[in-house]
Amino acid sequence: MNISVIVPNYNYNYYLEKRIESILKQNYPIQEIIVLDDASSDESLHTVAGLFQKCSIPLMVVPSDRNSGSVFKQWIRGIRLAQSEWIWIAEADDLSDPDFLSSVIRPVLEDKEVVLSYCLSRIIDGEGKILQENYRYTTDDIDPEKWKHPYIREGIDEIRDTFAVKNTIPNVSSCIFRRPDNLEEIAAELTRYRVAGDWYFYTELLKRGKIAYTSEVLNSYRRHGGSVVSSGKHNLIHYRELVSLQESIAEVFDVSPETRNIALAHRADMKRWLSIYDERIENYSFIFTNRAIEGLEKSSLLLYAHDELWRIFTEYREIEKSGEASQAYEYAVDACKKFVETKISSRLKDEKSVGISLRIDADSSFESINPLMWFLYKFFPASKVIFDTGDDLESWKKEKLGRELLEHHKSYGHDFRLLGKRF
C-alpha cells in the first residue's frame, strides 16, 4: 500500500532537516514526499534543496509566493497533489519514530474498512526535550482505560462517544488517512476553520469508515513558542469553533446524555483555560489619581498598564490586518475584560474607577500613538486617558505630538488629562 507524505512548512528551517530525516528512516516504503512551503522568510527552501542529494524517495517542493494564512489550505493543496491513496501529513516541526508508518499501517492492511489510523504521541519542546511521555492524560475525562490498548472500531461510534467531546488526535503527524472521495466538499468547509479544522476533518473521514489506534508512542509532537497551539492570539476563535463542532455533532449523531455532559464539562474547562468572558466592557472610567490606588506606587501602575495594554493592542492589530476584523474585535473585547478584572480592578478601592496612564516618550510619533488611542476609546467607552510626560508641562505642550493628539481627539469629545490636570 503506497503512502504519500505531505510536509507543510512555514519558517521551520531549524527543524526541517531532522524532520525529513525522520521520514527517510521509516521502515515502511514511501512513494513520495511533498514539501509545501508557505512563503517562508527563513532558509527553509535552501535547506530542502540541499536534501535532494540525500533523498532516495521522490521529493517535490511546492513553494508559495504568498502566505496562505491557513495550515488547512496547505493540507488540501497537498492532498490534491498526492499520488497515493493513503496520506501522511508530517508537520515540519514534529518527529516520528522509525516504526511509525509500519505500525499505523498494520491495522489498515488487516481491515480494509479503516479510513484513519493513528498512534499515541509524546510532547517535546523546541529543543527536543520530552515534556510529556504520552497524551493519555488529555482523554481521561472520556475514558481512562480506552487509550491504554489498541483498537479498531466503527468511525460513527468514535464520533458519538469521543469526537462529540473533543479532538482526541491532537497532532496530525500521528495519523495516516485514506484520501476522501468528497475532498472538494470537505475543503470548502475545512478552510473556514482557524484552529479546529483538524477535528472537523477527522470527523468527516470517520463518517465513511473505521478508525484504528496503536497504543505505542511513535510520534513526537513539538510544543514551542512559534507553534499554533501555544499562541494566545485566537483564544476566542478556538472556543467558538469548539462549541460549534460539539453542537453540530450533537445535532447529527445520537450522542448519549452521559457523553453530552462530558462534552459540556470539557467546554467549561476550555472556557476557563482560554480565559473567555461573556460580558463586554462597559462604562469603565479611567481616571488616574493616587487616592484611587491602594498600596500601589504610581510608577509601577504606569509601567504595568503600558506593557499590558500595548500587548493587547498589538495582537488586536495583527488579527485585524489579517482581514479578520470581527475576530479582532472579539479578541480585544475579551482581552480588555480580562485585563481590567484580573489585573487592575483588584488593586483599586472602586472597581469602576481604573487608573490607566500611558507614558509618551520624546521619540513617539502621532502615527504610532494615535491607533492606540482609538483602540482605548473603542474598547473602553467613557475612558479618561492620562498622558504621563514628566513634570515639564509647558515644554511638552509645545511638542508637535502633544498638539496633534490634543486637537485631534478633543474634536471627537475625548477627555485627556495630564497627571490629573485637564489640558
In this structure, is the dihedral angle defined by the CA atoms of residues 255, 258, 262 and 265, taken in order, positive or negative?
positive
Contact 42, 123 (CB under 8 A): no
Other Cβ atoms closer than 10 A to 422? 8
Strand (E) positions, 43-112? 59-63, 86-89, 95-96
What is the tens place of the pLDDT at every residue in 222-231?
A: 987 554 444 4
Cell of 243: 462549541
Query: CB–CB of 199/266 below 8 Å?
Result: no
Q: Distance (Å, rounded) from C-alpha 8 to C-alpha 278?
A: 36
Contacts 24+ apart (CB under 8 A), 180-186: 180/115, 180/204, 180/205, 180/208, 181/208, 183/76, 183/79, 183/80
Cα separations in angstroms, 191 against 11, 75, 219, 325, 410:
21, 9, 25, 18, 44
Cα(163)–Cα(166) distance, rounded to whole angstroms? Answer: 5
Question: What's the pLDDT at 292?
Answer: 32
List of domains in the chain: 3-229 (3.90.550.10), 290-422 (no CATH)
16, 126, 5: which is closest to 59 by C-alpha?
A: 5
- Phi/psi of residue 163, nearest 5 degrees: -70, -10
C-alpha cell at 46: 535552501
How much is the pLDDT for 355? 45
H/E run at residue 200 = helix 197-206
Note the pLDDT of residue 181: 94
Number of Cβ within a 10 Å radius of residue 363: 7
Q: Which H or E run contains 385?
A: strand 384-388
Q: How big is the chain, counted in residues?
A: 423
Q: How far is CA 335 from the centre of its chain?
A: 15
- Strand 175-178 and strand 86-89: the pairing is antiparallel
pTM above 0.75, yes or no: no
**Which residues of the chain have a pLDDT value below 50?**
227-233, 278-304, 306, 347-355, 357, 359-362, 381-384, 386-398, 417-423
**Per-residue confidence (pLDDT) for residue 366, from 0 to 100:** 62
Please report the pLDDT score of residue 239 as a whole number.
84
Residue 375 is inside which H or E element, if any? helix 366-379
Cell of 283: 462604562
The pLDDT score that the predictor gives to residue 173 is 98
How far apart CA 293 and CA 299 sit, in angstroms, is 11
The pLDDT value given to residue 163: 98
User: Mind listing the pLDDT tens digit for each residue in 132-159?
Assistant: 999 898 999 999 999 999 999 999 999 9
pLDDT tens digits along 9-44: 999 999 999 999 999 999 999 999 999 999 999 999
The closest of 272, 275, 346 to 304, measured between CA atoms, is 346
**Which residues are registered as beta bridge partners of 210?**
114, 154
Distance CA 186, CA 73 (A): 11
Q: What is the pLDDT of residue 208?
A: 96
**Are the CB atoms for 45 and 35 separated by under 8 Å?**
no
Question: What is the structure's pLDDT at 277?
Answer: 53
- Alpha-carbon span 114 to 211, nearest angstrom: 6
CB atoms near residue 31 (< 10 Å): 16
DSSP 92: T
